[in-house]
Amino acid sequence: MIEPSPQQRIQTLYTHHSGWLYAWLRRRLGCPHHAADLLHDVYLRVLASGRTPAEERARPHLMQIAKGLVIDRYRRQRIEQAYLDALAAQPEACAPSPEERALALEALMRICAMLDGLSPRVRETFLLSRFEGWKYADIAAHLGISAATVRKYMLEATMACFQALEGGALDRGARAGGHA
């Protein structure tokens, strides 16, 4: 028997499973257009991975990817709404331009993704310090670690923030055809 090509395996996967996955996404998102977008993104992820699941694992595999994309979408919407709410509270004279808003949202998304990539302890340390205003000694006591470890975790998280933001500046410079 001849082994199907990767393109044939993807086509078969799509033919057998896109209908139920689209229906699930549509129920979850409440919008046929967003469901179609995420369905497309699921199959792009499968293509990018280079791995097509066996037929008996296809639905769980596709569902895992789809759930992650739905969570990412909701997270992005929450961040965008929080940013827009903060902007609405500003006096109109201080309001940023549409371009500045887009750049700020892009930076927030990069930082959010960076936080997701940190270990849970480093992330919690960073969030307690920067967003809750806790002192290092309080964080150390709360987490049962030393103040030196808190400093180490903060350095790791801060460096990751700088790298996430620096990467965005480099990407924008490349898109603009300039150098960052």
pLDDT at res. 179: 43
The fold of 96-180 is Arc Repressor Mutant, subunit A (1.10.10)
Residue pair 42/72 in contact (Cβ under 8 Å)? The answer is no
* Per-residue confidence (pLDDT) for residue 83, from 0 to 100: 76
Block residue for tokens 């350095």: 155
Question: b/e per residue, 54-71, with b = 16+ CB within 10 A?
Answer: eeeebeebbeebbeebbe
Q: Within 13 Å of residue 53, how many CA atoms lie on the same side as its CB? A: 19
pLDDT of 169 reads: 54
Question: pLDDT digit of tens for each residue in the chain (180 aa)?
Answer: 788 887 888 899 999 999 999 999 999 999 999 999 999 999 988 888 888 888 899 999 999 999 988 887 887 788 778 777 877 777 777 777 888 888 888 888 888 888 878 888 898 899 889 878 899 999 999 999 999 999 999 999 999 888 887 865 545 444 444 444
